[in-house]
Structure 1
Amino acid sequence: MRSMTGFGRATAAGDNFSITVELKTVNNRFLDVNLRLSSEVQSLETAIKRTIGNRLSRGRVDVNLQYERNNEVSYEINRPMITGYLAAMRSMKDEFDLAGEPDLNVIARLPNVVVPSKEEAGPEFFTAIETVLADALDDLEKCVRRRVRPSLTNLAQDSPVSNRACRPSRRSPPRSELSTTSGCSSE
């Protein structure tokens, strides 16, 4: 398909997740795919670009792939980071003769101390992404066809061109008769 301006959207859901893909294309001479992916699907960037490249030959394509877990999210603690932080706090306390103990609330707010546990994506997940991407591309193609067909019909109806060579309906006036004033006022 020669991509043109259009929009496609599709959604799929599995047991523990839902995926939404939105595609927006605008005319461009070359194929330019821009992805906005959830961190869980970053590893699929190359495969997603390849799939789009197999279906579209040109255009700027903005892809927004949203992944949401439907099940309860479990968290992990970053033990090495906490151990290092506590050792630094104790060293600081002893070296500078400070009072107090490290606060759990302060530790929990440190970046990357408590993180969502990573779930291994199963084959159902990858199949769902392939399916929803294909469905979004199908929806995009339908949108482009709906936009192009009326334009082509109107062009054919409005066109004075017949099977013979296109000729001007009247001759241009001689150069001496052409107006030299511009459309802009000189005020």
Structure 2
Amino acid sequence: MRSMTGYGRIEKIINDYNYSVEIKSLNGKYSNLKTSIAGIFSPLEIEVQNLVKKYFKRGNISVYIDIRFLNPQNFVDIDLGLAKSYHSALQQMTSELHMSDDVSLDVLTKFREIIKIKVEEEAMNKIWKGLEEILLETIEKVKVFQIEEGEKLKTVLLGYIDDIEKIVNDIQNAAVDMKDTFKERLENNLKELLNNSELINEGRLELEVALLAERADISEEIERLKSHIKKFRDIVNSEDELMGQNLDFLSQEMHREFNTIASKSKLIELTNLSVEGRGLVNKIREQVQNVH
């Protein structure tokens, strides 16, 4: 089991570049990926997203990338023609406006178009190879984190499902005596209506009890709950790629069965057990939102 909560960060020098990659993952029903990378490396952003999406199918994923040149002078591009044009225009302005200030280098460097960082295609491909390597290492680090968190989550979920199984067994045991309880209640009610007379039609009484028991029968709901519990354990102990979604579906089904039992129940004991069961299922539903 993998949790959707994960973190990994790696900083490494490869060739002439210092790479820093940080990945954070949080729970989310769908896949939501955000990447942050400097504008000059924007051609690599699609490659980054495609790679990360292979390993994270759900959740909110944030990727922060910082790449620094160890030899930046190799990537500086100066547009001297543009610099001369700016210089000439500024000198003309100072002359016509009768300004005494000279056009200094500080003024010219404020125009970003003059001095730019330029990365040729060959260098960009080289940068990507290094970045891909570090991304994969960082992804692996995040996955290890998620697995560690997933084991903790697995223990919690199996604890809840054990408690739910006990409740289902208690419901089943209580339901066994339900017919006798109905008969006793109905018999007492009839005696009160007949002023405690012993003249009660046993055949009629048995028929009424049978009808009540049929309407309140919860044997199918109990069997379905048992089936859901078994399936839940099977999925938790598997390597199901859609584990989170499948566990969420099962928890919804269990919640529905407890609701049905509560609506059919004529016994306060069964109602209370159903409410307790729904409470545990709600706790499971909260936790499985963080299962990858």
TM-score (norm: length of structure 1): 0.75
Alignment of 1:18-57 (within 5 A): 18-57=18-57
Residue number in structure 1 paired with 2:103: 102
Report the structure, 1 or 2, having the larger strand content. Answer: 1
Q: Which has the higher relative contact order, 1 or 2, with Cα contacts under 8 A spaced 6 or more apart?
A: 1
- 1:109 deviation in Å? 3.7
Structure 1 residue ranges without an equivalent (≥5): 174-187
Selected match of 1:171 from 263, 266, 270: 270
Q: Give the superposition deviation at 1:132.
A: 1.0
Matches within 5 A, 1:145-164: 145-158=147-160, 159-162=162-165
Greater helix proportion: 2
CA distance in 1: counterparts of 2:48 and 2:163, whole angstroms = 44
Q: State the shift of 1:98 in Å.
A: 4.8
**Partner of residue 115, structure 1:** 116
Q: Once the 2 structures are TM-superposed, how far is the Cα of residue 9 of structure 1 from its aligned partner?
A: 2.2
CA distance in 2, matches of 1:157, 1:99: 82
Residues 98, 10 of structure 1: CA spacing in aligned structure 2 closer, same or farther, 3 A cutoff? Answer: closer
Q: Which amino acid aligns with 1:33?
A: L
State the AA in 1 paired with 2:27: N
Residues in 1 aligned to 2:35 and 2:87: alpha-carbon distance in whole angstroms: 40
CA displacement, residues 87-144 of structure 1 (integer Å, 9 cap, x when unaligned)? 2123334544555542333223443433345465265432221111111111111111
Contact 1:23–1:61 (Cα < 8 Å) also in 2: yes
Q: Distance in 1 between matches of 2:168 and 2:271?
A: 18
CA-based RMSD: 3.0
CA distance in 2, matches of 1:12, 1:99: 51
C-alpha contact (below 8 Å) 1:14/1:124 kept by paired residues: no
- 3-state DSSP of counterpart to 1:29: coil
Q: Identity of paired residues, percent?
A: 18
Bigger shift: 132-141 or 90-99? 90-99
Give the structure 1 partner of residue 4 of structure 2. 4
For the structure 1 residues 79 and 71, does the alpha-carbon distance in structure 2 shift closer, same or farther, using more than 3 Å as the test? closer
How far apart, in 1, do the equivalents of 2:14 and 2:164 lie?
54
| TM-score using structure 2 length | 0.51
Describe how 1:88-99 pairs up with structure 2 within 5 A.
Answer: 88-96=89-97, 98-99=99-100
Distance 1:123 1:93 in 2: 46
SS at match of 1:65: strand
Instruction: Give 5+ residue unaligned stretches, structure 2.
Output: 175-268, 273-292
Cα distance, 1:145 vs structure 2:
0.7
How many angstroms apart in 2 are the aligned matches of 1:166 and 1:32? 41
Deviations 1:10-41 (A, max 9, x none): 33321211212111011111111111112342
